[in-house]
Structure 1
Amino acid sequence: MIDRDRLGALLRRERAAFADRNPRSAQEYAKAGNLFGRVPMTWMNKNAAGFPLYLAAASGATLTDIDGHEYTDFCLGDTAAMAGHAPAPVTRKVHEQFANGACAMLPTPDAAWVGEELTRRFGVAQWSFALTATDANRWAIRLLRAVTGRPKILFNSYCYHGSVDESLIVTGDQGPQSREGNVGAPCDVTLTSRVAEFNDLEGLARELAHGDVAAVVMEPALTNIGIVLPESGYLEGVRELTRRYGTYLVNDETHTFSAGPGGATKRWGLEPDVVTIGKAIGGGIPAAAYGISSEIAQRLDEMKDLDLVDMGGVGGTLAGNALSIAATRATLEHVLTDEAFARMELLAQRFEVGVQKVINAHQLPWSVSRLGARVEYRFVNPAPRTGTESAQVADADLEDYLHVYLANRGILLTPFHNMALMSPATTVAQVDDHATTFYTAIEELQRA
Structure 2
Amino acid sequence: MSQPAIAGVPTDRLNAFALREAKRYGQSRPKAAKALAAGAGHYLNGVPMHWMRDWPMPHLPLVAQAKGARITDIDGYGIDDFCLGDTGSMFGHSPKPLARAIRKQAGRGLTYMLPTETALKAGRLLTKRFGDFRWQIATTATDANRFALRVARAVTGRPKVLVFNGCYHGTLDDTMVELSHGETVNRAGLVGQVQDLTLGAVVCEFNDLHGVEAALAKGDVAAILTEPVMTNSCMVLPEPGFHAGLRALAQAHGALLIIDETHTISSGQGGYTKVHGLTPDLFVVGKCVAGGMPTAVWGMTDAVAERFNVYDAARPAGHSGMGTTLSANPMQFACLAATLSKVMTKHAYAVMEAGAARLAEGLQQAITTHGAPWHVVRVGARVEFICAPGPLKNGTEAAAAHQPQVEAALHTGLLNRGCLIAPFHNMMLVSPATRPRQIDRLVLAFDEILAELFA
Q: TM-score, normalised by structure 1?
A: 0.97
The residue correspondences of 1:141-220 to structure 2 (distance < 5 A) are 141-173=149-181, 175-220=183-228
The residue correspondences of 1:49-448 to structure 2 (distance < 5 A) are 49-173=57-181, 175-303=183-311, 304-306=313-315, 311-447=319-455
1:9 aligns with 2:20: no
Partner of 2:4: none
Query: Could you report, residue by residue, the CA deviation over 1:359-414 in whole angstroms, capped at 9, with x for unpaired residues?
Result: 11112211100000000001122221101110112111110111000101110001
Using the TM superposition, give the Cα deviation of residue 49 of structure 1 relative to its aligned residue in structure 2, in angstroms. 1.3
245-254 or 376-385, which deviates more: 376-385
- Partners of 1:161 and 1:167 within 8 A in 2: yes
Going from structure 1 to structure 2, the CA distance change for 1:305 and 1:184 (only over 3 Å counts) comes to farther
Q: Gaps (5+ residues) in structure 1?
A: none
Partner of 1:29: 36
Going from structure 1 to structure 2, the CA distance change for 1:68 and 1:306 (only over 3 Å counts) comes to farther
Q: What CA distance in whole angstroms lies between the structure 2 residues aligned with 1:194 and 1:268? A: 27
Q: What CA distance in whole angstroms lies between the structure 2 residues aligned with 1:226 and 1:329? A: 33
- Partners of 1:171 and 1:195 within 8 A in 2: yes
- Partners of 1:61 and 1:76 within 8 A in 2: yes
Q: Pick the aligned partner of 1:19 from 15, 26, 36.
A: 26
Q: What CA distance in whole angstroms lies between the structure 2 residues aligned with 1:158 and 1:125? A: 28
Using the TM superposition, give the Cα deviation of residue 420 of structure 1 relative to its aligned residue in structure 2, in angstroms. 0.5
1:46 maps to amino acid: D
2:167 maps to amino acid: C
Q: TM-score, normalised by structure 2?
A: 0.96
Partner of 2:3: none
Going from structure 1 to structure 2, the CA distance change for 1:124 and 1:212 (only over 3 Å counts) comes to farther
Using the TM superposition, give the Cα deviation of residue 106 of structure 1 relative to its aligned residue in structure 2, in angstroms. 0.8
Q: What CA distance in whole angstroms lies between the structure 1 residues aligned with 2:188 and 2:60? A: 24
- Partners of 2:153 and 2:159 within 8 A in 1: yes
Q: Tell me how many residue pairs correspond in the alignment.
A: 446
- Partners of 2:234 and 2:401 within 8 A in 1: no
Root mean square deviation, CA, Å: 1.3
Using the TM superposition, give the Cα deviation of residue 424 of structure 1 relative to its aligned residue in structure 2, in angstroms. 1.1
Going from structure 1 to structure 2, the CA distance change for 1:331 and 1:186 (only over 3 Å counts) comes to farther
Matched residues, percent identical? 43
2:453 maps to amino acid: L
- Partners of 1:124 and 1:275 within 8 A in 2: no
